[in-house]
């Protein structure tokens, strides 16, 4: 069976599609969103993280490492990346959770076996399994096989996607995906590139193509609200135009920006890159909601 790299599986999720769901988080993303709240998902390969504030300098990791890749200085643990084989032993023995291995290789059968344990919850609640990330389509072969296996077992499937993938994937993807939770971040290609690392033409094309193929009951546009990036009236108006032009008139989901991710950036050694975009006030959120409603959309705020 096909293997892939995931970094988390979360149970009892209620905001990632209908009913009670299990979310499987794929590692790897082609975007580099400046506000990313899962920065540990961006690299495709597994990685070690270290949270210095939790480290009590006990030296257990250094004694355990089979490759002698760790040194303890007066202030912190130092890991020699060239010697480290990513075995994860140091994280296993760390008494304080200061080290963590992010990402592990799994095959489709293992994932199916894990997520099927909650099948009764899916059946009773109208839920299922959501594949998230990262960007799930980056591991397209693994993704398609997993979706197919889940559909063979009668499980409702959803994917959370940035929409940034090769269009020739669309037909196969639509065969076994019951619901697309499709991010629309900005209407302007230059702004999109400045804040995410990629322009949005491919995303807009994929959005329209999926609408045409599956209809609006199987896709929900989601707009992450990032203060200072896409929350002004003109930008929202242009996002609304894109959704209408794609032929959609169902509900849209507004996603609140999560500004609690600083520690995640720090533990993967990228703390200096973290940028806090602040919070929208209730009034600002209400105004954005009204703008979508005036255009005829039902709005769900997550």
Please answer whether residues 250 and 220 qualify as being in contact, where contact means their C-beta atoms are separated by less than 8 angstroms.
yes
Could you tell me the smallest distance in angstroms from the CB atom of residue 58 to ligand SF4?
4
Tokens 């994280």 correspond to what residue?
91
Residue 59 touches ligand SF4, criterion: CB under 6 A: yes
195: closest CA among 165, 148, 231, 249? Answer: 231
Candidates 7-15, 55-63, 139-147, 240-248; binding stretch for ligand SF4 (CB under 6 A): 55-63
Query: What is d(CA 138, CA 44) in angstroms, rounded to the nearest whole number?
Result: 9
Q: Show the tokens assigned to 203.
A: 């995303």
CB of 3 to ligand SF4, least distance (A): 20
Please report whether residue 255 would count as binding ligand SF4 according to CB under 6 A.
no
Note whether 87 binds ligand SF4 by CB under 6 A: yes
Tell me whether residue 76 or residue 256 sits nearer to ligand SF4 (CB atom): 76
Place of tokens 């009668």: 154
- The number of beta carbons lying within 10 Å of the beta carbon of residue 194 is 13
Distance of alpha carbon 135 from alpha carbon 276, whole angstroms = 22
CB of 105 vs ligand SF4, minimal distance in Å: 14
Quick check: 45 binds ligand SF4 (CB under 6 A)? no
Contact call for residue 102 and ligand SF4 (CB under 6 A): no
67: part of which helix (H) or strand (E)?
A: none
Phi, psi of 294 (to 5 degrees): -65, -30
Give yes or no for residue 267 binding ligand SF4 (CB under 6 A). Answer: no
Taking the complex as a whole, the smallest distance from the CB of residue 233 to ligand SF4 amounts, in Å, to: 48
Residues of the shown chain interacting with ligand SF4 in the complex, contacts defined by CB under 6 A? 48, 55-61, 64-65, 67, 69-70, 72, 77, 79, 84-90, 94-96, 98-99
């Amino acid at each position: 069976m096909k293997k892939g790299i995931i970094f988390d599986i979360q149970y009892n999720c209620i905001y990632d599609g209908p009913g009670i769901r299990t979310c499987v988080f794929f590692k790897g993303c082609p975007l580099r969103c400046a506000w990313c709240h899962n920065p540990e998902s961006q690299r495709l390969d597994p990685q070690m993280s270290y949270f210095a504030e939790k480290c009590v300098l006990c030296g257990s990791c250094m004694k355990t490492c089979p490759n002698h890749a760790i040194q303890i200085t007066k202030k912190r643990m130092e890991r020699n990346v060239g010697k480290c084989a990513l075995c994860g032993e140091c994280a296993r023995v760390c008494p304080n959770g200061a080290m963590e291995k992010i990402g592990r290789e799994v095959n489709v059968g293992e994932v199916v076996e894990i997520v099927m344990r909650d099948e009764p919850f899916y059946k009773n609640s109208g839920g299922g399994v959501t594949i998230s990330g990262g960007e799930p389509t980056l591991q397209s072969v693994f993704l398609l096989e997993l979706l197919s296996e889940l559909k063979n077992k009668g499980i409702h499937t959803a994917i959370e996607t940035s929409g940034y993938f090769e269009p020739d994937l669309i037909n196969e993807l639509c065969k076994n995906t019951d619901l697309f939770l499709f991010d629309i971040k900005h209407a302007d290609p230059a702004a999109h590139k400045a804040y995410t690392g990629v322009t949005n033409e491919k995303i807009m094309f994929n959005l329209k193509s999926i609408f045409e193929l599956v209809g609006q009951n199987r896709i929900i546009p989601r707009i992450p609200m990032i203060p200072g990036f896409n929350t002004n009236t003109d930008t929202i108006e242009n996002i609304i135009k894109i959704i209408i032009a794609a032929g959609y008139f169902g509900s849209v989901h507004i996603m609140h920006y999560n500004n609690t991710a600083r520690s995640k950036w720090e533990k993967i050694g990228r703390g200096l890159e973290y940028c806090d975009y602040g919070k929208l006030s209730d009034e600002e959120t209400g105004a954005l909601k009204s703008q979508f409603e005036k255009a005829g959309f039902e709005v769900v705020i997550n």
